[in-house]
């Protein structure tokens, strides 16, 4: 082909034209292609192979591969071509569709850079560090080469700006899971959960996507001053659902209701006739309530407190006092316990009690003594 004819052929192409070509040679910093339906060769500089920075051309293309390309420069005997521009044009169309529909898609993380991750979607997609996970991540080095799910959160084609988020995917999945769990919960159910967070007023338990609150009053049958006395973060617990407020995503739970009550098997722990130690918890006009086991109080009726007559239990007892009690009766079903204190104390001698003569002195009469004296005189 003459130089004149070659010039005519070359100059039939202008910048922006789309062509196809077959890779004939892959060099370190450029790729040579044979342009389809032409005797011309094309050159693709390494910078025009991908939207991302690459070190070697062979990382992107290989010999024999068919490529769609765009003319970016017309030289005397060859065309300078771009694969990157064609890929970007195709990509923007599908990316706009994904952005508008909110589609979730998988992509490989090509690089980890300062401030986030880089993804190749035909154009360079950037994932800011704050949008990688729903939790804080200190080191992103393990993400390189990893395929994860993304949503497009910002797209500006004219500025070549594409922002992706994996965090949005995670939060959306959590929201769906939370809703599914919330719909499945019913009052009265007993489930297993994990203590997620402890506060002054109770503990939040994860039920598999949604948290419920166990108020401090529902943690134990015993009185407690702080939740951490009975539960720890990460602990697996059984909980009973007390109420479900789907409008406000609030779930009330109880651990206490899944535990044996303080009155369970009380007939075995406090057998009739047994002697126990307890603490006076409350004093009322008709007696005193004594706690013999945590959460178990029995009544010592006023008549069972002391041997002597008392007008009020306060005469001999005070709240907080430790006392020995005898079990008179126990009713587990009605949660009633009757106790006695006086049988375990010595009976005091009453001041007005009449002194009794010894047995041998009983029946002694004055006449008997006079008769004895008369007998003695006769004998004399």
Q: Is residue 51 part of a domain?
A: yes
Q: What is the pLDDT of residues 95-139, one digit of tens each?
A: 999 999 999 999 999 999 999 999 989 889 999 999 999 999 999
Asked if residue 36 and residue 11 are part of one domain, the reply reads yes
Q: Is residue 36 part of a domain?
A: yes
pTM: 0.55
Asked if residue 239 and residue 215 are part of one domain, the reply reads yes
Q: Is residue 32 part of a domain?
A: yes
Q: Is residue 366 part of a domain?
A: no
| End-of-domain residue from the set 202, 227, 258 | 258
Is residue 48 within 8 Å of 82, Cβ to Cβ? yes
Cα separation values, 57 from 32, 145, 227, 245, 369, Å: 11, 19, 62, 60, 144
Asked if residue 204 and residue 236 are part of one domain, the reply reads yes
| End-of-domain residue from the set 85, 117, 151 | 85
Indicate the burial class of 358 (C-beta count within 10 angstroms; 0-12, 13-18, 19 or more): exposed
Beta-carbon neighbour count of residue 2 at 10 Å? 7
For the chain, the domain total comes to 4
Q: What is the pLDDT of residues 291-339, one digit of tens each?
A: 999 889 999 999 999 999 999 999 999 999 999 999 999 998 899 999 9
Is residue 149 within 8 Å of 106, Cβ to Cβ? yes
Range of the domain at 162: 102-170
Asked if residue 297 and residue 251 are part of one domain, the reply reads no
Q: Is residue 292 part of a domain?
A: yes
Q: Rounded CA gap, 214 and 303, in Å?
A: 42
Is residue 332 within 8 Å of 266, Cβ to Cβ? yes
Q: Is residue 57 part of a domain?
A: yes
Asked if residue 81 and residue 35 are part of one domain, the reply reads yes
- Block means of pLDDT (10 residues each) for the chain, length 380 residues? 43 87 92 89 92 85 93 89 90 92 94 93 93 93 95 94 96 90 91 95 93 94 89 95 91 92 88 94 95 92 93 94 95 92 76 47 51 54
DSSP element (H, E) containing 195:
strand 190-199
- Supply the CATH number for residue 199's domain: 2.40.50.140
> How does DSSP classify residue 134?
S
Q: Is residue 66 part of a domain?
A: yes
Q: Rounded CA gap, 62 and 71, in Å?
A: 20
Q: Is residue 230 part of a domain?
A: yes
């Amino acid at each position: 082909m003459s130089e004149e004819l070659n010039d005519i052929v070359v100059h039939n192409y202008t910048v922006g034209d789309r062509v196809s070509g077959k890779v004939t040679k892959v060099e370190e910093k450029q790729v040579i292609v044979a342009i389809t339906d032409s005797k011309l060769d094309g050159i693709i500089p390494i910078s025009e192979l991908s939207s991302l920075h690459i070190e070697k051309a062979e990382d992107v293309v290989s010999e024999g591969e068919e490529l769609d390309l765009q003319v970016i420069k017309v030289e005397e005997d060859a065309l300078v071509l771009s694969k990157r521009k064609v890929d970007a044009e195709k990509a923007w169309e599908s990316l706009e569709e994904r952005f508008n529909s909110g589609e979730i898609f998988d992509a490989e993380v090509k690089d980890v850079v300062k401030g986030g991750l880089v993804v190749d979607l035909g154009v360079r997609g950037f994932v800011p560090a704050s949008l990688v996970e729903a939790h804080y991540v200190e080191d992103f080095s393990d993400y390189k080469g990893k395929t994860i799910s993304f949503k497009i959160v910002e797209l500006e084609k004219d500025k070549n700006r594409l922002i992706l988020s994996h965090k949005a995917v995670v939060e959306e999945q959590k929201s769906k899971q939370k809703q599914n769990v919330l719909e499945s919960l019913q009052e009265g159910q007993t489930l297993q959960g994990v203590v997620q967070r402890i506060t002054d007023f109770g503990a939040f338990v994860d039920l598999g996507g949604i948290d419920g609150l166990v108020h401090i009053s529902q943690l134990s049958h015993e009185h407690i001053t702080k939740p951490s006395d009975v539960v720890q973060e990460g602990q697996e617990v059984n909980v009973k659902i007390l109420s479900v407020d789907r409008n406000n995503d609030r779930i009330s739970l109880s651990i206490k209701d899944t535990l044996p009550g303080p009155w369970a098997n009380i007939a075995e722990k406090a057998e009739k006739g047994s002697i126990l130690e307890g603490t006076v918890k409350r004093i009322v006009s008709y007696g005193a309530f004594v706690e013999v086991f945590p959460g178990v109080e029995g009544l010592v009726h006023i008549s069972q407190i002391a041997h002597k007559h008392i007008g009020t239990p306060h005469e001999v007892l005070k709240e907080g006092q430790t006392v020995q009690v005898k079990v008179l009766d126990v009713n587990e079903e009605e949660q009633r316990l009757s106790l006695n204190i006086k049988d375990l104390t010595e009976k005091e001698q009453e001041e007005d009690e009449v002194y009794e003569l010894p047995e041998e002195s009983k029946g002694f009469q004055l006449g008997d003594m006079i008769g004895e004296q008369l007998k003695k005189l006769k004998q004399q």
